[in-house]
Chains A and B, each alone.
Chain A
């Protein structure tokens, strides 16, 4: 599989009605919006079946909720595909992809600390980057963090 169009067509076909939004912001950048419950299936498709490389996950605190972006790279086609999931800011929860992609272990731990997202089924959810005495439930990458003190 070498071609960007082929990859895009296959993702579209296999995820079908589960796709909430589909947006190619550049020829080599594709963003696919999904509901959280469909994420593991989508990750299995691109990572296991289509052999994409796992790049990283980004968490963003937005006015409408916590957005989690899963970036995968199809290196042979020079295409970065990003799955976008919007979670409720009150209790953000989503299935962990670490059981599928070992390399996601650290970043899910990091997002858990910095944005307070719960990754259900993560095999090793302990602190990664924050200090041991950092208070529980305080997430420094949330928009609300530091607003009172500054």
Chain B
């Protein structure tokens, strides 16, 4: 059969970020895939070499807007390792709370996007409805919905006020019951099963070969999580479960993220219970020569920072490896053999983040080939779901899902419109 190349990009079929895919297809079937990076490079590793140790957190916070606390946290831990700093207990709890609030909103963001791309807008709207209170709390306690500027070498920049703590508690507690129901409703939904089960399977062997991390690896049955394996912040003081799912398909990736949401809530509540008044900053005066590694379980997986100091006031080298850098290449294992209309959701299933993946270069140039637009691809994927929703079973499933979600919403005092 004649082989056709479908160029996708340089705008992502799912997210408003620039990169370039080439799907090689035979008829409907994907036979090869190539990813072209370089469109979002801002030279952040190089920039960090010209900033002082205290300025770098603000730079790396801007690597990614969604996991904007994971990068600074990994970086400050690397520097604290070089300087042998003992971070005050209260700061460790604050770091944990902020990191878990970030995971909550990031997983809900992904769920909404995934719903949208398979043309199931009910999921999209409800997921984002529940994400909003998390961002409101972030804004209230840190001053910003994103880029919280909380992490600093030696502790945190801002304390959580006494009046903030009950607000955080009320928000996460209020979210718990409807979220649980939401999780159950989505995981039981036949339409979502039809579109995601058995689709884009990543085997544990491939996950390991590519060094996949986070929910992408855990959905292939690998029980790895930096929070448990090499504990930082206050994770060794709280109890929670590392969620794994053996199937490796898109459904498994969704399941892992969904089930991690209640675990995050559990962690936040324990931190609120255990936190005591105290110092929040070890007031680090200087960083000696040396090297350090900080790694953090970001919502998308392990964020890895390596910092080297020569005893001056700035790092001589700062290496950043974001989770998407090792998760995106798994596309080669998951997309091949699948249909073009499923490629969209497979690409979305690792929750790719392109700005994170690229940190050092100059903007690339366009290509001569006429790309398939983002809308073309989303439409392909959405049409597939529409066909399912047009059947009597599909219709019934959507009705049931909506009913469950409205029920959940009314429990937190909301009125369905």
Chain A positions within 8 Å of B, measured between CB atoms, are: 25-26, 28-29, 31, 51, 53-56, 58, 60-61, 69, 71, 73, 75-76, 78-80, 82, 101-103, 105-107, 110, 113-114, 127-134, 140-141
What does DSSP make chain B's interface, helix, strand, loop or mixed? mixed
Interface string of B272-294 (1 = CB under 8 A from A): 00000000000000000011110
8 nearest A-B residue pairs (beta carbon): A103-B211, A78-B230, A129-B361, A56-B321, A58-B319, A54-B211, A103-B210, A102-B209
Residues of chain A contacted by B290 (CB below 8 angstroms): 25
Q: In the complex, A103 Cα to B364 Cα: how many Å?
A: 23
CB–CB B224/A102 < 8 A: no
Residues of chain A contacted by B212 (CB below 8 angstroms): 103
Total A-B contacts with CB atoms under 8 angstroms apart: 106
Question: B17 on the interface (CB 8 Å rule)?
Answer: no
CB–CB A132/B224 < 8 A: no
A54 to chain B, nearest CB (A): 4
A16 to chain B, nearest CB (A): 25
Known contacts A56-B304, A131-B361, A131-B363; A75 and B293 CB within 8 A of each other: no
B413 to chain A, nearest CB (A): 42
Contact residue among A69, A75, A131 (Cβ-Cβ distance under 8 Å from B362): A131
Residues of chain B contacted by A82 (CB below 8 angstroms): 293
Chain B positions within 8 Å of A, measured between CB atoms, are: 37-38, 41, 43, 45-46, 81, 208-213, 224, 226, 229-231, 290-293, 295, 302, 304, 306, 308, 316-317, 319, 321, 325-326, 329, 358, 360-365
Given contacts A76-B229, A101-B209, list 10 more A-B pairs with CB under 8 A. A53-B208, A53-B211, A71-B304, A102-B209, A103-B211, A113-B361, A127-B38, A128-B38, A131-B38, A131-B362
B297 to chain A, nearest CB (A): 11
CB–CB A130/B304 < 8 A: no
Residues of chain A contacted by B321 (CB below 8 angstroms): 55-56, 107
Residues of chain B contacted by A132 (CB below 8 angstroms): 364-365
Closest to A23 in B: B291
Contact residue among B37, B211, B308, B365 (Cβ-Cβ distance under 8 Å from A101): B211
B10 to chain A, nearest CB (A): 12
CB–CB A78/B229 < 8 A: yes
13 contacting pairs across A/B (C-beta < 8 A): A55-B295, A55-B321, A60-B317, A73-B229, A73-B230, A75-B230, A129-B41, A129-B358, A131-B363, A131-B364, A140-B43, A140-B361, A141-B46
Contact residue among A55, A105, A114, A130 (Cβ-Cβ distance under 8 Å from B329): A105
Known contacts A58-B319, A141-B46; A80 and B363 CB within 8 A of each other: no
Q: In the complex, A141 Cα to B316 Cα: how many Å?
A: 11
Contact residue among A28, A127, A134 (Cβ-Cβ distance under 8 Å from B230): A28
Q: In the complex, A51 Cα to B209 Cα: how many Å?
A: 10
Q: In the complex, A143 Cα to B213 Cα: how many Å?
A: 32
Q: In the complex, A26 Cα to B295 Cα: how many Å?
A: 14
Contact residue among B231, B329, B361, B363 (Cβ-Cβ distance under 8 Å from A106): B329
B248 to chain A, nearest CB (A): 16
Q: In the complex, A130 Cα to B37 Cα: how many Å?
A: 9
